[in-house]
Amino acid sequence: MDGLQQFFDAYQTTIGFIGLNAMLALSVWLTLYTGQLTLGNAAFAGIAAYGSALLTMKAGYPFPLALACGALLAAAVSLPLGATVFRLRGVYLAIATLAFGEVVRVAILAIPITGRGQGLVGIPPKTELWHIFASLLVIAYVCARLRISTVGRAWAAIREDELAAASQGIPVRRYKLAAFVLGALIAGWAGGLGAHFDFAIQPDEFGFARAVQILVFAVVGGIPNVFGPILGALLFTALPAVLQPLQEYRDIFQGVILVLVIVYLPRGLATLLELRRTARLRTVGAEDVA
């Protein structure tokens, strides 16, 4: 028991960031599940992180209210943005959302109240681990239910063929926008929790590198179900701590894992369970035939 407590004390921050990264991965999973590649979720997390932190530090808002306001602010910003950028497709959509992220980062650097390049320091440490993992549980459950609902089936149809989905009466732009706004809301909630967990935030934490990292969590973990993004976040968040003695080669290990998954498991690590189930069914079928 003492050993477990020591492990928990030593890796408490890493455990917390696993939960936060899993929420961010699920936020981008929503748009990927509709077949849309967006890179704006880090910016939405940043908007909510700064918004909620300023509300608690400057305005004295209660922690839950500040979190809700930050997440709603991110969702409100995503609504007109999504209505505009979803006229684009493919790489152009990714570039547009990436440009939005850079605009947000530059705006944070230019506004004095955000601390500019130095960021915000001394944020009240309100977030506890149970806040993070209770939020992750609720978000994962909602995403799983949405996946098997009418909305989820519409998203899957849009991913496979937008024209065919539209011909069946599915309002494509409305469904894509709904996934985008919901993803921004989740990213905003994670950003607010992260701001009050790490005590300090800086603009670079929500830039291009972070946007790509969130995307990697979801892609490596797998898009077919909600377990995939959580698995990807767990792997890439825990890996730096596990490879601490090999810190100089940490990025190499991460790169090798990414390449191997893309080449051999293009649908992500979550499909390993499907492959195992398929192999077992083949074995059972062969035994029945014999």
pLDDT bucket at 259, cuts 50 / 70 / 90:
confident
pLDDT at 45: 96
pLDDT tens by residue, 148-199: 999 999 999 998 888 888 888 889 999 999 999 999 999 999 999 999 998 8
CA dihedral 30, 31, 37, 41 (to 10 degrees): -70
Could you give the CA distance from residue 283 to residue 286 in angstroms, rounded to a whole number? Answer: 5
Nearest to 185 by CA among 143, 123, 129: 143
Domain spans in the chain, listed from the N-terminal domain onward: 11-289
pTM attached to this predicted model? 0.90
Q: What is the identity of the amino acid at 22?
A: A
Contacts (Cβ under 8 Å, ≥6 apart) of 11: 241
pLDDT bucket at 212, cuts 50 / 70 / 90:
confident
Pick the CATH number of 11-289 from 1.20.1740, 1.10.10, 1.10.3470, 3.30.950: 1.10.3470
pLDDT at 24: 96
Could you give the CA distance from residue 47 to residue 105 in angstroms, rounded to a whole number? Answer: 9
Note whether 212 and 147 are within 8 A (CB): no
pLDDT at 220: 87
Collapsing DSSP to helix, strand or coil, 120 comes out as strand
pLDDT at 282: 53
Residue 254 is encoded by which pair of tokens? 């991460």
pLDDT at 244: 67
pLDDT tens by residue, 108-149: 988 888 888 888 888 999 999 999 999 999 999 999 999 999
pLDDT at 137: 97
Assign residue 122 a region: left if phi > 0, alpha if psi is -120 to 50, beta otherwise? Answer: left
Could you give the CA distance from residue 273 to residue 290 in angstroms, rounded to a whole number? Answer: 26
Beta bridge partners of 200: 121
CA dihedral 226, 228, 233, 238 (to 10 degrees): 130
pLDDT bucket at 11, cuts 50 / 70 / 90:
confident
pLDDT at 12 over 80: yes
Assign residue 15 a region: left if phi > 0, alpha if psi is -120 to 50, beta otherwise? Answer: alpha
Whole-Å CA distances, 274 to 231, 280, 288: 15, 10, 21
pLDDT at 284 over 50: no
pLDDT at 37: 87
